Amino acid sequence: MTRLIRFNKPYDVLPQFTDSGSQGSPRQTLSAFIDCPGVYAAGRLDRDSEGLMLLTDTGRLQAWISDPKHKMAKTYWVQVEGQPDAAAISALEKGVALKDGLTRPAKARLMAEPAQLWARTPPIRARKSIPTSWISLTLREGKNRQVRRMTAALGFPTLRLIRYSIGAWTLDGLSQGAWEDLEIPNIPGPAKPSQLPNRRAQKAKVQSKAQVQSKGQAQAKTPPKTPDKAQTKTQSKPKQDRKDPTARSSRRNHARKP
């Protein structure tokens, strides 16, 4: 049976079930919170980020959620150092030039501190002399550490990053470190043979249309034929009946008789 789980990942937790790179490491993994064999993450969330993760035991569902070509929207709550102005928010929306290219258009707005926000352990290192702000940022792509690099490029370093939603799934009602099963969505599959376009008919239709257009263009380029003046004059002149030579000879003979 297919399973889909949502999980509110705490800060400093690896987004995987094992820490194979550091044997005996004290770093926490997903296995410290989720006791559900066979599921794996549909997309990543950095160790120093918090918030929503989706996990499933089905490869097709995992690909549908995490593959960038499906452009599933992901919304982040971002606490930054400083107070971004309208120009900075506009830049986030239009695209920020990073080393690996310009980011795609996004949705961004200033927001108040989330009401359901939990305390982070350890807390952020904020400077008392510099205020902090919260931004809601929705992306449809997933460059490496993209949110942090976008805000830093505009002069507003990210202090805390929480993923609030993936597509229609959100953190609402889910406490930090908790997980729960979700209803399985209908995954759009490949088109059935009966739904596929008739390529032969389409090709024949295109060729027929091209031939009609080509014929029309050729007719438009060829000037209408104008009749020859001499021929027109000849055709317009009525034909004169020729006299019967036999009758003329008979008249001459008749005139010679006494």
State the catalytic residues: 46
Cβ atoms of residues 164 and 52 within 8 Å: yes
| Alpha-carbon span 177 to 7, nearest angstrom | 7
30 DSSP 8-state letter: G
| Alpha-carbon span 82 to 131, nearest angstrom | 5
CA angle centred on 170, ends 31 and 156, rounded to 5°: 90
SS3 137: strand
Cβ-based neighbours of 59, under 8 Å, separated by 6 or more: none
| Burial class of residue 95 in the structure, from the number of CB atoms within 10 Å of its CB (0-12 exposed, 13-18 middle, 19+ buried) | middle
Distance from CA of residue 180 to its chain's centroid? Answer: 30
| Alpha-carbon span 149 to 76, nearest angstrom | 14
| Alpha-carbon span 221 to 203, nearest angstrom | 27
Specify the pairing of strand 74-81 against strand 169-170.
unpaired
